[in-house]
Amino acid sequence: MADPGFNAFAMAQAQFDKVADLLELDESTRELLRNPLREYHFSIPITMDDGSHKVFRGFRSQHNDARGPGKGGIRFHPQETADTVRALSMWMTWKCAVVDIPLGGAKGGVICNPHNLSMREQEAICRGWVRQIAKNIGPIQDVPAPDVMTNPQHMLWMLDEYEAIHGAKYPGFITGKPVGMGGSLGRTEATGYGVIFTLREALKVKGIDPKDTTASVQGFGNVARHAIQLYTKLGGKVICVSSWDEADQASYSFRRISGINLDELMTITDKFGGIDKEKAKGLGYEVLSGGEWIEQEVDILIPAALENQVREDNVVKISPKVKFLVEGANGPTTPAADKVLIEKNIFVVPDFLANAGGVTCSYFEQVQGNMNYFWDKEEVLTKLDSKMTSAFHAVYDTSVKKKLYMRDAAYVISIMRVAQACHDRGWC
Amino acid sequence: MSSADQQSRFSATLEERNKEINFLHELEELLHDPTLPKEDIFQIVITKMKDAWQFGTICEVRLRYRDKTFDTGGYIEDMPYLSADLIAGEKIVGDIQVTYTAEAPEAEIGPFLKQEKRLLDTIAFRLSDYIYNQRLKKKLASKKVTESLPDKTEWRIVIDMIRKTDPPLFMRLLRKMLHQLNWKGVEEAEMLLAELSIDLKGVEERGTEDENRPLQKRIISNYDDYISAILKLTSENFTEEEILWRVQKWIQNDNTSALIKVLESQGSSLAEISDAIRRFYHLSPEKIELSPSTVKGLRVSLLRRFMTDDLEFIQIAKDYVKLTDFYKLIDKMIFLPGSHGKLGGKSSGVFLAHNILKSSVNNAELPFEVKIPKTWYLTSDCILHYIQFNNLEEIYEQKYRDLEEIRLEYPQVMQLFKEGQFQPDIIKGLSLALDDFGDTPIIVRSSSLLEDQLGAAFSGKYKSLFLANQGTKAEKLNALMDAVAEVYASTFGPDPIEYRTERGLVDFHEEMGIMIMEVVGTRVGDYYFPAFAGVAFSNNEFRWSPRINREDGLLRIVPGLGTRAVDRVSDDYPILIAPGQPQLRVNVTMQESVKYSPKKMDVINLKTNQFQTVDVDALIKEVGIEYPQINNIVSVISNNMLRPPNPIQVDYQEDEFVVTFDGMLNKTHFLQKMHTILQILQNKFRVPVDVEFASDGKDFYLLQCRPQSFTKQNTADVIPTNAPADRIFFSASKHISNGRVPKLRFIVYVDPDAYTSLGTKEEMLEVASVVGKLNKMLPRRKFVLMGPGRWGSRGDIKLGVSVTYSQINNCAMLIEIAKQKGNYKPDLSFGTHFFQDLVESSIRYLPLFLDETESSLNESFIKKSHNLLTDMLPEFTHLSNVVFVTDISEEFDGGSLKVFVNAEQEKALAIIMPESYTEIDDIYDEPSPAFKELGTNIKYNRTAKFIERFVAKMDVDKFKIDSVLYLIPAHAMESDRMLPALLVISSAEGALLEELNSYLNVWNDCLNVVESRVEDNDSERAFEYVIGTDADSELTKFEVAGTYLINQLYPPEKNEFLS
């Protein structure tokens, strides 16, 4: 339950302050980075289906664009607040910086509940939002993307309005578009592959051949599947995967010591990522309880489902054999569990870095849009590999040099990059 | 002769009469046609004659005239025949004979009726007359005599015929004619009438001393004079056409009277009634022109005998149900000889709804046709005969037994019924029905007398069973009989009995009609199913957005059979749509749309002969485009978007589909149609309705229609804003529906975490039984029941406590708690069956989404209090960490729990109130019976109730009050702009009058304050009032303003609607 006293922006600032201390940033830099550079608050008047008029509140927070045009989603949320948008725009700045893509951080939103709006009214809000801020966003200024309760359809409406206002085509204005309408190939693979690119590099620095490793994966959604696919291709062996069973409203772990076969499992999976238990048994899988994925005797754990999955209560069940934990999901590890991981000397690739494949691919979409030239999938994934690889090494090197936990190192390097850019531009 | 035989004979006679008249009419026309030669006339006469005989198709006629013979082609010598001679000038010149070429049932004269003999004689007489006249004409012509015979007018000929063939009818016609003349003001007629009728004048003159003596009937002595006098007057005062038209109509009405007689007699069986209807219709229905009053009378009688005694139903139905509808119905009815049964609630509901919609199509209110599937009916009393036939009488006591016992014994009851035998007549009927259905799957549905009556929706209480209806005839018949027996047994199931007990219906003599209905659908591969089906409510009690009004309705729609829309299924979701606000969908994101879409569908597998649930995906892969309307039912997931399937690109094998009905909603007029249907039905039924429907992809079918259960207490509470935080028990902010919750004393709380961590299924079931026991022990409507997820879960009971309705029916409010676990938020139930029961019983439902920012639950109120469970059910002490029972009054010094709900604000707040708290709403309790008609207009109900109360308390002697009338604008249902008025008839004067005025003013202000609190109005008064001395003169003043319903409040013994 949300605590009424909780303020996302205050929390983001506190997190920043912690790293700023580490980096010994000066006061003016802190002042600059603690707050968004620019913020837009505006009203969006809409004619509703019944002919009445309603005014919606819209926001755009551009936290920092020292490293490049702003990038960040647009949220439709009934409880949207300026502070949430501010906090999220700050996080976008760090996220783009950690993978070293030339983008800044931004975020936007509209206070509305799409459950109370018809599609036509939502379209009107999208177009209204763009009209209000069309001068201050754009492919070389600030690039929106889908977020909570917005989808490719909303993006296309916004793009259309933007292009109508500016009288030209700007496919790079917005990301998250469908393939064929300015979307990028490789988007589905991007996050899962990104996870494995960083794992591969982690194994490399530790001198371990992926072929000699085994892994257990939590989740069987898009991220998990592509992670399994690439990891298996590298020679690794996934022996356990957990999935959510919609009918039982419970999750199960599926184990086969000889290694799971992704293609085989896909044939017995429903569209929620639920694996058919009976059929799995028939294929030689053991069906275990949902929580057992974490207890497996493997080298690598990949939580790729939900947040708060590695907790104080189950982190102790992790086998001594486990050496790596790669966070495919957002926030899978609780702070308390982090401490245990450090004690156990498990190498963690933090979510911030491990699942940055998604935002990197968004960047590629924007680049392709600006050129109006679209790469084939292989090119996208190759470029992704190189971005993720160098991002990993930058974080890793920092962690080694400064003796930092990987999670802290990731923050340090990204804030450092942004502070540097501001400084070089003479802003602080 | 049995009464049935008599009846049918009587009807037969009537039928013949009409044939005769028609024929005689034609005969006269023929004989007066100078252009036709004699021979042609003879041939035409004998051909046409055939139809006037009872069995016209096997009737043959031969006419011999001098040396010539005319016949109708197939005359056979050896069969019994009727014969009449043709006589011209006292000489036999020929004869005319009628025979049947095949065996016909024995009647009065061999296979012939007496009337038929008389008719033949009449024909022979007319033909003889004609022959004689022709001969005469010839002779006269040869003598060049130009004087012609006096020409008889046509109507006279008809009347003469009737006089010869049916003297009683002739007399009746004459009497009617006389009345007609009298009406027209013909003086002689009045005199003649006086001759005939009982002399009332005489009575007055006689004085009072003889008042006990019966009045004398005048006996007419000279008939012929009398008759010719009337006939003469008739011809003088009416035109030929007028007379003929009247005579014809009277004859028809005369026919109807037989049907009416049968219908009005309580003793006549269904067999007799259907016979009467059939006979009636054989008198060529298209020609029947009955007076509106006769038609109405017939309709009402038929409705009462076939459908229900419920006056409200009849009141509505009589305007829409035509006689022909009954005529069509009787062929599909199965009943035993001597049956007095009815069709039952469900059948009546759908029958009426269909007729209403048909008439709306005719008025162009509804621009398309709505069908109902082919249906056969077993009348309601068949179950009684079945019980008797199988010696199962002891079952009748079942309903008075302990519920637990009933539950326990139910399986045996089911077995007993299934082992029973059906009477041969029923088997024959069922067999006929099966022949009619062919190989189409059927559904056997209950249609009990109680079911679907206004105010009592037995939704899902009795069984409905699907039959694939495949295999040999014997197999099909066995399956059908088995299903009927099972539905019969369900009458004695625990849930229906519980439900009846609860609403005081247990003593009602329940009978169970059965509908055997064709399943709407098409065959696709081995499967049979409708493209889509569902249920629609005219009132939306499940509003997911504050922008949706109750009146926008609610649609639950699924692919395949409608079972999954009607029933609660724990693992699947129907598509929900508010027809009045189709653009406001429940699911907005693609993830939501995927998650809350129907994944499975019910079909009938024709190969395995079974009802089956299949995976929608698998079915689409299997049958693809064969699925009717598939592209309007599903959307394709592509590029993280839901798109309508593109007919060129779509690949049913490879693409990913989600059932959304988007195509149907966006590209077809389905929703408008549905909305129109709901509105029409609601208007005509005068209550909110729910309908079940299905479509085979081409046509729209109505499967059921019944009044939607509704509560009258749906005003929004004012949510207190100043409640101290430590007194707030819970607050909720999502899916709030209005509805008053009474003051509560107890909380029954099933701890969601403790419940989910119970190790075994047995323990979870134990929780359900504890809840059931508490439900019986705690005071009715004085406790709130709170628990995890879905109350009434069937399959995965981890989702919620697996209770049935009868285990929770005493609570005042049912709360489902949703608490997020990880990213998983438990789903709350969207079930209809249960939900409707809750609405019916005014049990409020509230979902508590604890993860919403404005939602909270103060568990410590419960956890810190004494758990009564250990005192009440010591044997379940081991569950005292799962089930908590709290007595608020005990814990909070006589306090109580009050739940305020306001759907407009999407807010509910439960506050512990001090002992001193009394509810202002108590006054709205139940609507005054006298104002029942006001239906759903809460405002008037409330005002009425209030006024009734204070009038009852008024000191009528002191204020010299003679009477008090309460006037409500007649259109209070539609509008609440006009204020109700109070008319006080009092002789008070001076200071007393002033006091009375101020008394009324105080109450007026008082009530206005209450009104403005709940209604958000800004009027200065709650009602108008007038004090006067004469009711009649005061009332006329109101008539100027509009029409009012008037209720006499004082003196109370006159309490009733006056107008």
ipTM (interface pTM) = 0.74
Q: Are B298 and B259 in contact (CB under 8 A)?
A: yes
Q: What is the DSSP string of A185-222?
A: TTHHHHHHHHHHHHHHHHHHHTT--GGG-EEEEE--SH
* CA distances in angstroms from B289 to A78, B250, B256, B330, B744, listed in the order given: 65, 10, 11, 22, 63
CATH 3.40.50.720 corresponds to the domain A187-349: yes
Q: Which residues of A touch B571 (CB under 8 A)?
A: 246-247
| Whether A5 contacts chain B with CB within 8 A | no
SS (H, E, C) B398-412: HHHCCHHHHHHHHHH
Q: What is the DSSP string of B597-620?
A: S--EEEEEETTTTEEEEEEHHHHH
Structure tokens at A354: 């491990």
Q: Which residues of B touch A308 (CB under 8 A)?
A: 822
Of A96, A107, A105, the C-alpha closest to A74 is: A107
Token look-up 């004998």 returns B46
Give the mean pLDDT of B714-729: 76
Residues B584, A149: C-beta atoms closer than 8 Å:
no
| Whether B641 contacts chain A with CB within 8 A | yes
Structure tokens at B98: 């009628």
Q: Is cis: bond before B647, omega within 30 of 0?
A: no
Q: Which residues of B touch A121 (CB under 8 A)?
A: 583
Q: Which residues of A touch B853 (CB under 8 A)?
A: 2, 4, 79
| Whether B796 contacts chain A with CB within 8 A | yes
When pLDDT is cut at 50, 70 and 90, the band that residue B330 belongs to is confident
Q: What would the pLDDT profile of B612-656 be if each residue is shown by its tens digit?
A: 899 998 999 988 889 999 999 999 988 778 889 988 888 998 888
Report the 10 Å Cβ neighbour count for B109: 12
Q: What would the pLDDT profile of A149-182 be if each residue is shown by its tens digit?
A: 888 999 999 999 999 999 999 999 999 999 889 9
pLDDT of residue B833: 41
Residues B588, A149: C-beta atoms closer than 8 Å:
yes
CATH 1.10.3470 corresponds to the domain B924-1054: no
| Whether A425 contacts chain B with CB within 8 A | no
Report the 10 Å Cβ neighbour count for A242: 27
Q: Which of B546, B599, B641 sits opposite A116 (nearest CB)?
A: B546
Give the span between the Cα atoms of B750 and B817, in whole angstroms. 10
Q: Which of A179, A270, A309 sits opposite B639 (nearest CB)?
A: A179
Lowest mean pLDDT among A25-39, B140-154, B1000-1014: B140-154
Which residue ranges make up each domain of chain A?
36-173, 187-349
* CA distances in angstroms from A195 to A191, A233, A239, A243, B240, listed in the order given: 6, 14, 18, 18, 102
| Chain B (844-863) residues lying within 8 Å, Cβ to Cβ, of chain A | 850-851, 853, 855-856
Give the mean pLDDT of A208-236: 95
- Give the three-class secondary structure for B658: strand
Mean pLDDT estimate for chain B = 78
Structure tokens at B309: 């005694």
Contacts of B673 (CB under 8 A, 6+ apart): B366, B368, B700
Give the mean pLDDT of A96-112: 95
| Residue in A with minimal Cα distance to B587 | A115
Q: Are A243 and A269 in contact (CB under 8 A)?
A: yes
pLDDT of residue B140: 62
Q: With left for phi above 0 and alpha for psi between -120 and 50, is residue B804 left, alpha or beta? A: beta
Which residue of B569, B823, B829 to mutate against A (max A Cβ within 10 Å)? B823
Q: Which residues of B touch A157 (CB under 8 A)?
A: none
Q: Which residues of B touch A145 (CB under 8 A)?
A: none
Q: Return the CATH number of B15-184, one of 3.90.1140, 3.40.1350, 3.30.450, 2.40.128.
A: 3.30.450
Higher pLDDT among residues B912 and B148, named by residue: B912
Token look-up 């209560």 returns A313
Which residue ranges make up each domain of chain B?
15-184, 332-519, 520-671+697-709, 725-918, 924-1054
Q: Are B441 and B563 in contact (CB under 8 A)?
A: no
* CA distances in angstroms from B55 to A261, B102, B107, B599, listed in the order given: 81, 10, 12, 60
Report the 10 Å Cβ neighbour count for A278: 8
Q: What would the pLDDT profile of B661-690 be if each residue is shown by its tens digit?
A: 999 988 888 888 888 899 899 888 887 888
Q: Are A175 and A366 in contact (CB under 8 A)?
A: yes
Q: Which of A1, A176, A306 sits opposite B850 (nearest CB)?
A: A1
Give the span between the Cα atoms of B949 and A393, in whole angstroms. 84
Structure tokens at B914: 């001090």
pLDDT of residue B771: 92
For residues A411, A412, A413, A414, the Cα torsion angle rounded to the nearest 10 degrees is 50
Give the span between the Cα atoms of A391 and A96, in whole angstroms. 11
| Whether A163 contacts chain B with CB within 8 A | no
Residues A180, B639: C-beta atoms closer than 8 Å:
yes
Q: Which residues of A touch B547 (CB under 8 A)?
A: 116
Give the span between the Cα atoms of A212 and B552, in whole angstroms. 63
pLDDT of residue B823: 43
| Residue in B with minimal Cα distance to A183 | B639
| Residue in B with minimal Cα distance to A182 | B639
> Element (H or E) spanning B730, and its range?
strand B728-732
Residues of A assigned a catalytic role: 107
pLDDT of residue B983: 84
When pLDDT is cut at 50, 70 and 90, the band that residue A86 belongs to is very high
Token look-up 């680049």 returns A367
| Whether B822 contacts chain A with CB within 8 A | yes
| Chain A (265-304) residues lying within 8 Å, Cβ to Cβ, of chain B | 270-272
pTM, whole model, 2 decimals? 0.62
**Angle (nearest 5°) at CA B864 between B863 and B865:** 95
Instruction: Say how many CB pairs under 8 Å bridge A and B.
Output: 75
% of chain B residues with pLDDT over 70:
80
Give the mean pLDDT of B190-202: 59
Q: Which of B638, B823, B855 sits opposite A306 (nearest CB)?
A: B823
| Whether A325 contacts chain B with CB within 8 A | no
| Residue in A with minimal Cα distance to B595 | A272
Q: Are B461 and B498 in contact (CB under 8 A)?
A: no
Residues B583, A119: C-beta atoms closer than 8 Å:
yes
Q: Which residues of A touch B545 (CB under 8 A)?
A: 113, 115-116
Q: Which residues of B touch A4 (CB under 8 A)?
A: 853
Q: What would the pLDDT profile of A312-346 be if each residue is shown by its tens digit?
A: 889 999 999 999 999 998 888 888 899 999 999 99
Q: Which of B547, B617, B641 sits opposite A152 (nearest CB)?
A: B641
Structure tokens at A36: 């968004």
Token look-up 């598939």 returns B630
Which residue of A126, A151, A306 to mutate against B (max B Cβ within 10 Å)? A151
In A6-141, which ranges are E strands?
38-47, 53-64, 70-77, 105-111
Residues A116, B639: C-beta atoms closer than 8 Å:
no
pLDDT of residue B217: 53
Q: Which of B544, B617, B640 sits opposite A115 (nearest CB)?
A: B544
Q: Determine how β-strand B375-378 pairs with β-strand B333-334.
A: parallel
Task: Answer yes or no: same fold for B15-184 and B924-1054.
Answer: no
Q: Fold for domain A36-173? A: Rossmann fold (3.40.50)
